[in-house]
Amino acid sequence: MYKASLILLSAIKGFQNKHSSQENSIYLAHLRSDNKPRPNIVFVLTDDQDVHLASLDYMPFVKKHFLDKGTYFNKHYCTTAVCCPSRVTLWTGKAAHNTNITDVNPPYGGYPKFVTQGFNEAYLPVWLQQAGYNTYYTGKLFNVHTVDNYDKPYAAGFTGSDFLLDPYTYNYLNSTFQHTGETPKSYEGEYVTDVLAQKAYSLLDEAVAADNPFFLTIAPIAPHANIQMNGSVLDDNHTFEFGSPVSAKRHEHLFKDEKVPRTTSFNPDKPSGANWVLELKQQNQTNVDYNDHFYRQRLRALQAVDEMVDGLFDRLEAHGILDNTYIIYSSDNGFHIGQHRLQPGKSCGYEEDINIPLIIRGPGVAANHTTDIVTTHTDLAPTFFDLLGIPQRDDFDGTAIPVTKAGIELAQERRREHVNVEYWGFAGGEGKYDHDVLHENNTYKAIRILGPGYNLYYSIWCNNEHELYDMDVDPSQMHNLLSKDHTISSTIANLPIHKVVARLDSLLFVLKSCKGITCQQPWKSLHPKGDVLTLEDALSARFDHFYVEQQRVEYNFCSNGYLVDAEGPMWEDHGSVFRDGLMWYEWV
């Protein structure tokens, strides 16, 4: 065993110029080589769970079983900060501009759009079954997956399932589930996460009894807001009533003195952000008090999830499969409460909404380890493939996340450093002070990029306003360096801002319509010789003129969905610069 380990380490050292996921795969293959059964995956996917409001600090069983025993990826991001588009990206490995599922409801999103776009035959559970895995799911799948359309068609690719269905998905005390092949059943009066936990344990027992490798997803709604719906959005005259999350009775007394973290951006005296965010009024004390209550309800609602996690690990251990199972914890998107004067909600590109939990535990994964390599939900489907030894698909926009210590160490130097963030449509609040207000023109594109000497967020809204934040000096994103009111001379990476912005804008221009390998390696589209792989490389003075001449990202108009006519110039038609029939890289 010792000799084998030395050979393994030597192999890893010898592949220094390869992508870190290859080293990851070498080690994972080594773990599977001793005639062990193929590994399982259990995936816990919460709804709207934050990182920056410190929700994980209130989940002792998540700490015990995940954080203390696994690896925490603290720079993990969703790429579209709302439920359905984010989940479709997660299950397909494709950016939202490639799925064209950009909203929670029709015509731009929801389960009906997922089906008509052809993804019911081309997403993770279908691919896993083709690779010989049994697949199980309980909880929320997508928005507008309803008691009327759950069988039109059935969600494909599941060996066993027990789905939460609209219009009862977000009603903590009046849920409806639909078990494999059966008609929907109401659980009125029962607490939804407790119902879900029993269904999860039952599916786990079923998966183990089948004596076949499996992938089990458990998707509770906590800590999402409570919503009472009078019909789904497909029904005439439907109504929604938002309220704070609801906890189980046994948790109602907890956290009585907790408040939303009072960070610099919390309900600031001066407005911040851009577009409609910049116009928000400061919240009065009554509003702040309610938001603190909303925050406490989120923490309380997560306690039943935390207990479910503990029960899950007890059962994995009792079944004797814990050591051969990857267990993963994440959320579909983040959440804000009061930051930038925002009411409770998501849908923005700020750090609270896009930076989300990702914790992985399992064979070969370092225990009690934290890494800051950049990862996204676009990477999860490729990662699941990698963990299970399935060859990567050419049409993935993401790349497998390294989970071994060796792979992570290599990724610190070689993994891509950017997150492509995109959103279309409106932003809606979920608290009681603006639940009936839709903030229009919330369409934007952004880059979150981290590297040596820079830690940046750059965005362009559909009204063509720009934002740039230096997150090292302004982690709360309070000082937009591209605001017309910003008069202080600033530099980034010891360079004038306009030089850095020129590179960021060109990178975003490639990413806004990228597919496959171009999403993974966008700098190669700008510099096909391969001599530029990072922003640090691109900031070389020899490229100054090239970036001055590049087409800029701009919208033609604001649209509530992904419409090519609204998107403005595209890389495929207006990218790079040609001179005398030669591309720029042939000149430099």
Residue range 49-80, pLDDT digits in tens: 999 999 999 999 999 999 999 999 999 999 99
Mean pLDDT of 374-396: 98
Please, what is the average pLDDT of the chain?
92
| Residue pLDDT, tens place only, 439-480 | 999 999 999 999 989 999 999 999 999 999 999 999 999 999
Asked if residue 389 has pLDDT above 80, the reply is yes
What pLDDT sits at residue 244?
Answer: 97
Classify residue 541 as exposed, middle or buried by CB count within 10 Å of its CB (0-12, 13-18, 19+).
exposed
| Residue pLDDT, tens place only, 470-511 | 999 999 999 999 998 876 778 998 999 999 999 999 999 999
Asked if residue 13 has pLDDT above 50, the reply is no
Catalytic residue among 78, 83, 84, 514, which? 83
Three-state SS across 119-139?
Answer: HHHCCHHHHHHHCCCEEEEEE
- Residue at token pair 């042939």: 586
Instruction: Name residues whose C-beta falls within 8 Å of residue 421's C-beta, 6 or more positions apart in sequence.
Output: 77, 79, 80, 81, 349, 354, 444, 445, 446, 447, 448, 459
> What is the torsion angle, in degrees rounded to the nearest 10, for the CA atoms of residue 345, residue 347, residue 348 and residue 350?
70
Taking CA 446 as the corner, what is the angle to CA 442 and CA 451, rounded to the nearest 5 degrees?
Answer: 155
Who wins on pLDDT, 494 or 219?
219
What pLDDT sits at residue 8?
Answer: 36
Distance CA 101, CA 568 (A): 19
What pLDDT sits at residue 468?
Answer: 98
Q: In a 3-state reduction of DSSP, which class is residue 215?
A: strand
Taking CA 66 as the corner, what is the angle to CA 65 and CA 67, rounded to the nearest 5 degrees?
Answer: 115
Contact between 82 and 224 under an 8 Å Cβ cutoff? The reply is: no
84 noted as active-site residue: no
